[in-house]
Structures are given as structure tokens and as C-alpha cells.
Chains A and B, each alone.
Chain A
Amino acid sequence: NAGVTQTPKFRVLKTGQSMTLLCAQDMNHEYMYWYRQDPGMGLRLIHYSVGEGTTAKGEVPDGYNVSRLKKQNFLLGLESAAPSQTSVYFCASSLMASGKETQYFGPGTRLLVL
């Protein structure tokens, strides 16, 4: 049981380049999320998904796209990277059981846009 995994762990991009971050979970969770964390701050929600084939915008969705073609995978795409997208990206999944929510995070992806 690997939990939540993210690929890659670190990436350097030039302005205007594109890339896709992959998140995978093996816990059969419906809900998955992409967050970014900037220095000295908490997380901000980019996009989330409530199940296979569905996605929704979060707090800071501009410049990002997502897809959830398979339940276990949630992809985050940057079509044209900008220096403002330099951040640490966390993927998460969650489960609600007996009225209690539990969240599981991936290890994070450090992205540097030059």
C-alpha cells in the first residue's frame, strides 16, 4: 500500500514550457486534490476532483488544468509555465468515514520556473 505518490519530485522549467505532474493513490478514494504551497504559507487549493471523470476549480486555478481519467490518478498540467508558478505542489486524497474526514498527502513536487 503505497498511499499517495507524486511524480516527479523536482523539476526545473523555463518560462513558457509545459509539464504534467502525476498523482496516484491506491486507496480507492473518491476525492483527490492539488495544492500549492509558497514559502512561509499554508496550502492553497488549485483544483480538486470528487470522482473519476470529474474536476472542479479551487482557490487558485488559473494557469493550471487537471484530468481524472482513472480513479487512482489525478494529473495537474501547466500549459505555459510562469515564474509565479514556482512552488511546492502537493497532491492529496481524502476519505470520509463515520463523519470523520482523513486526508493523505503525497511527498510533494518542487517546481522551479526560470
Chain B
Amino acid sequence: AQKITQTQPGMFVQEKEAVTLDCTYDTSDPSYGLFWYKQPSSGEMIFLIYQGSYDQQNATEGRYSLNFQKARKSANLVISASQLGDSAMYFCAMREGLGQGGKLIFGQGTELSVKP
């Protein structure tokens, strides 16, 4: 059965430093997509980054990069040069198959606090 695990309920990082949020997944499907989302205290849901299981290179979007280690089944999010506005809940998710439809399985989330 597909499963997503985020082992860090909360994390602190100093402003301008880099931070890594952990995510491991489990699936028997060779085709899958991995996603990261940010949810600030205002409640909105913001899509950050996508990685397909066959992508050879790690996905990057601005200050966000996904450290994809397929053999270890990990998909960690790296935020470079943290900003105060990065303080939020971060969710990792996975969808089996490479189509856009279907169920997304979410991790429990990691609450990131950026210190000035």
C-alpha cells in the first residue's frame, strides 16, 4: 500500500540558512509523482514542486529543490536561504501513476518556523 511519512513534526531554522524537510514514501508502482505543498497559517494551500518517478534530475523551483533518492524512497524538500515568510506547514504527497487524476496520499506535515 502506498504511504508517505514525514518524521519531523516541527523544525526551526535561522533566517537565510538552508533547511531540509524529510519525506519518505512507499509504493510498489514504478510510476508515481511526488509533490510538496506549503500551507501558511492563513490556510491557503500552495503547490511548490513536482517530481516524476522517471525524472533523472532533481526538480527545482526557485529556492525550492526536491532531493529525490529513488533507491532510498526519499523525496526531501530543500529550501535555500530561508525567509520569514517560509514559516508554514509543509506537506509531502504522492500519487501512483503519472497521470493527473487519482488519489494523492499526504504525509502528516512538518511545521517550519523561521527565526529572525
Chain A residues within 8 Å of B, Cβ to Cβ: 30-31, 37, 40-45, 48, 50, 56, 58-59, 88, 90, 92, 94, 96, 99-105, 107-108
11 contacts between A and B (CB under 8 A): A31-B100, A42-B91, A42-B104, A43-B91, A43-B93, A99-B52, A99-B55, A103-B50, A104-B47, A105-B46, A108-B45
- Best-surrounded residue of B35, B47, B100 (most CB of chain A within 10 A): B100
B103 within 8 A of A: yes
Q: Which residue of A lies closest to B33 (CB)?
A: A101
Chain B residue contacts of A56, Cβ below 8 A: 101
Chain A residue contacts of B100, Cβ below 8 A: 30-31, 50, 94, 96, 101
Chain B nearest CB: distance from A9 CB in Å?
10
Chain A nearest CB: distance from B47 CB in Å?
4
Of A41, A45, A102, the residue contacting B47 (CB under 8 A) is A102
Cα separation A88 to B45 with both chains bound (whole Å): 11
B44 in contact with A45 (CB, 8 Å): no
A105 in contact with B44 (CB, 8 Å): yes
B59 within 8 A of A: yes
Chain B residue contacts of A101, Cβ below 8 A: 33, 35, 50, 52, 100
Contact with A along B82-116 (1 / 0, CB 8 A): 00000000010100000011111011110000000
Chain A nearest CB: distance from B111 CB in Å?
11
Cα separation A92 to B47 with both chains bound (whole Å): 10
Chain A nearest CB: distance from B45 CB in Å?
5
Apart from A42-B91, A105-B44, 20 more pairs, CB < 8 Å:
A42-B107, A42-B109, A43-B45, A45-B104, A48-B101, A50-B101, A58-B102, A88-B43, A90-B45, A92-B45, A92-B47, A94-B100, A96-B100, A100-B50, A101-B35, A101-B100, A103-B47, A103-B50, A105-B45, A108-B44
A58 in contact with B103 (CB, 8 Å): yes
The 9 lowest CB-CB distance pairs between A and B, nearest first, are A42-B106, A103-B47, A31-B100, A105-B45, A101-B50, A59-B103, A42-B91, A94-B100, A45-B103
| Given contacts A50-B101, A59-B103, A103-B35, A108 and B43 within 8 Å (CB-CB) | yes
